[in-house]
């Protein structure tokens, strides 16, 4: 579907700035980054826009700041820059690191609110209900556990809210949504998630509050013409995509728009977001890709369990590309996955130290000895189907195995005839640089090292790309 579009806009969700991100959040960044790099190679550098960032308003951030005894502004500034440093450690090539406290976003969120209101989709009403401050969402009793806790936030107390709010006429769009999703005008991947979302619609869509009174929540974007209310959660956070996309020419009909999100917020991106856009008169995204969660050694990753690992800690120990490779190959692309440091190190040794690293070292040594120089331009022929980066990597890994086999069968180290030797090495190195070229979206720094080794000047065996972990 995306082939007919000139441009591509890739987004990750933006993270709540209540605490710094950990490896559980890293997967989505690396996944979206690989896809952004893939499209840059296909469609040209300037035809791809890619955003990630932080969601900085809301009660959770206000409370986190209070707990620290600093202002919300100071708090979100601090967390946002820590998040950005974590994301940078993974070499994530975002075009803009988005912050919902930025000036242009405040204006856009207010403008969006006004458009939706003018279209008759926003009204003011009293509301009483159960609320999870962790999810920033109202809950029905059926969504809570038996002891009245949110299953996603079991340590938090469910609140009972009774207040005046602005509401969005979500229910009006039930039929529209059903058709949108059934006909794949909005593509939801993987397919199982589409069924889940259709089941949500079957249960009925109800209007939702989209503002909070300032005496309850002051840290937010003011509702236009009503200083006693702030816009909250989705009418603030989701609009980040339009703020940055539109300003840079990536929210138009020439652009393929894809959102990468975790399964916990799939509902908001697939069911609420399209109706908000429709209401305010904007085009809709093409695809929402929903990934699973990462567990660490069988446990949910959380501060209270004390098993939080930052991406930068892994990167410091194993290198950026090793971490990227592991996540992309073994991450929760469809379902939740369980990861462990032991498994990480096994994959590192098998695929990177022995696989790509060893093959590169072997061929470079032989080429150096044979005084070989090459004039080839590597070809990017990668096709990633349905965003399955894991399958694309497996295929390339298979090609590397075949190349290894070719080397072992042709034993270039034993060939004495110089012409024959150069011929065999040229064939094998051409294969290697082509495989490497196609690995570029996944492990870009390593690929540059491989290409430099073979394609720039006299070939010399490089430092080990991935030193073995013993
Ligand atoms: Zn919750």
Handedness of CA 210, 214, 216, 219 (dihedral sign): positive
Residue 120 structure tokens: 């008759």
Q: How far is the CA of 21 from the centre of ligand 1 (A)?
A: 18
What is the tens place of the pLDDT at every residue in 158-215?
A: 999 889 999 999 999 999 999 999 999 999 999 999 999 999 999 999 999 999 999 9
**Closest Cα partner for 111 from 288, 235, 209?**
235
Active site residues: 22, 25, 132, 135, 150, 153, 300, 303
Q: How far is the CA of 264 from the centre of ligand 1 (A)?
A: 10
Q: How far is the CA of 218 from the centre of ligand 1 (A)?
A: 21
Q: What residue ranges of the chain have pLDDT lower than 70?
A: 1
Question: Residue ranges per domain, the chain?
Answer: 2-300, 340-470
Kind of pairing, strands 48-55 and 211-213?
Answer: unpaired
Q: How far is the CA of 263 from the centre of ligand 1 (A)?
A: 14
Q: How far is the CA of 333 from the centre of ligand 1 (A)?
A: 23
Q: How far is the CA of 143 from the centre of ligand 1 (A)?
A: 10
Looking at residue 322, its pLDDT comes to 98
Looking at residue 3, its pLDDT comes to 80
**Closest Cα partner for 403 from 439, 432, 366, 374?**
432
Using CB atoms within 10 Å of the CB of residue 191, give its burial: 0 to 12 exposed, 13 to 18 middle, 19+ buried. Answer: exposed
Question: In angstroms, rounded to a whole number, what is the distance separating the alpha carbons of residues 261 and 29?
Answer: 10
Looking at residue 1, its pLDDT comes to 64
Q: Say what angle helices 389-410 and 418-439 make with each other, to 10 degrees.
A: 170
Q: How far is the CA of 150 from the centre of ligand 1 (A)?
A: 5
State the CB neighbour count (10 A cutoff) for residue 398.
11
Question: In angstroms, rounded to a whole number, what is the distance separating the alpha carbons of residues 130 and 153?
Answer: 14
Name the superfamily (CATH) of residues 2-300: HUPs (3.40.50.620)
Q: Is the peptide bond before 172 cis (omega within 30 degrees of 0)?
A: no
Cα pseudo-dihedral 380, 381, 386, 389, rounded to 10 = -50
Element (H or E) spanning 243, and its range? helix 240-247
- Provide CATH code, domain 340-470: 1.10.730.10
Q: What is the DSSP string of 299-365?
A: EE--GGGT----HHHHHHHH-HHHHHHHHHHHS-SSS-EEE-HHHHHHHIIIIIIIIIIHHHHHHHH
Cβ pair 264, 152 in contact under 8 A: yes
Cβ pair 51, 240 in contact under 8 A: yes
For residue 354, report the phi and psi dihedrals to the nearest 5 degrees. Answer: -75, -45
Q: How far is the CA of 65 from the centre of ligand 1 (A)?
A: 19
Question: In angstroms, rounded to a whole number, what is the distance separating the alpha carbons of residues 210 and 133?
Answer: 14
Question: In angstroms, rounded to a whole number, what is the distance separating the alpha carbons of residues 6 and 8?
Answer: 7
Q: How far is the CA of 151 from the centre of ligand 1 (A)?
A: 7
Using CB atoms within 10 Å of the CB of residue 196, give its burial: 0 to 12 exposed, 13 to 18 middle, 19+ buried. Answer: middle
The CA-based angle 276-281-282, given to 5 degrees, is: 75
Q: How far is the CA of 308 from the centre of ligand 1 (A)?
A: 19
Q: How far is the CA of 336 from the centre of ligand 1 (A)?
A: 19
**Strand partners of residue 132:** 137
């Amino acid at each position: 579907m995306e082939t007919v579009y000139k441009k591509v806009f890739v987004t990750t969700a933006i993270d709540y700035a209540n605490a710094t991100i950990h490896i559980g959040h890293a997967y989505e960044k690396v996944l979206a980054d690989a896809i952004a790099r893939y499209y840059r190679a296909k469609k040209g550098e300037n035809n791809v826009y890619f955003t990630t960032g932080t969601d900085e308003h809301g009660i959770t951030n206000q409370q986190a700041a209070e707990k620290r005894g600093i202002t919300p502004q100071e708090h979100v500034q601090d967390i946002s820059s820590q998040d950005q440093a974590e994301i940078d450690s993974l070499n994530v090539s975002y075009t803009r690191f988005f912050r919902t406290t930025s000036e242009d976003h405040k204006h856009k969120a207010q403008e969006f609110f006004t458009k939706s209101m003018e279209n008759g989709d926003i009204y003011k009403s009293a509301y009483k209900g159960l609320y999870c401050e962790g999810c920033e969402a109202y809950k029905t009793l059926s969504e809570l556990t038996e002891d009245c806790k949110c299953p996603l936030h079991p340590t938090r107390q469910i609140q009972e809210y009774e207040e005046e709010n602005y509401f969005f006429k979500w229910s009006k769009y039930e039929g529209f949504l059903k058709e949108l999703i059934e006909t794949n005008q909005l593509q939801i991947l993987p397919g199982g998630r589409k069924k889940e979302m259709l089941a949500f619609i079957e249960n009925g869509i109800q209007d939702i509050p989209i503002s909070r009174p300032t005496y309850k929540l002051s840290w937010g974007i003011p509702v236009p013409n009503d200083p006693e209310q702030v816009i909250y959660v989705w009418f603030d956070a989701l609009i980040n995509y339009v703020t940055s996309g539109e300003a840079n020419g990536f929210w138009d009909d020439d652009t393929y728009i894809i959102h990468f999100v975790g399964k916990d917020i799939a509902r908001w991106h697939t069911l609420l977001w399209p109706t908000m856009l429709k209401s305010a008169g904007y085009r809709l995204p093409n695809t929402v890709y929903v990934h699973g969660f990462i567990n660490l050694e069988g446990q949910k990753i959380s501060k209270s369990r004390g098993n939080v690992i930052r991406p930068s800690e892994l990167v410091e120990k194993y290198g950026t590309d090793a971490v990227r490779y592991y996540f992309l190959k073994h991450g929760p692309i469809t379902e939740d996955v369980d990861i462990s440091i032991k498994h990480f190190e096994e994959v590192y040794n098998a695929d990177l130290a022995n696989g790509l690293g060893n093959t590169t070292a072997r061929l470079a040594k032989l080429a150096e000895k044979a005084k070989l120089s090459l004039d080839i331009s590597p070809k990017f022929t990668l096709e990633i189907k349905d965003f399955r980066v894991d399958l694309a990597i497996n295929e390339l890994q298979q090609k590397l195995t075949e190349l290894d086999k070719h080397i072992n069968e042709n034993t270039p180290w034993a060939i004495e005839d110089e012409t024959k030797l150069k011929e065999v090495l040229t064939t094998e190195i051409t294969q290697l640089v082509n495989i490497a070229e196609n690995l570029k979206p996944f492990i870009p720094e390593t690929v540059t090292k491989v290409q430099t080794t073979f394609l720039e000047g006299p070939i010399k065996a490089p430092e080990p790309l991935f030193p073995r972990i013993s």
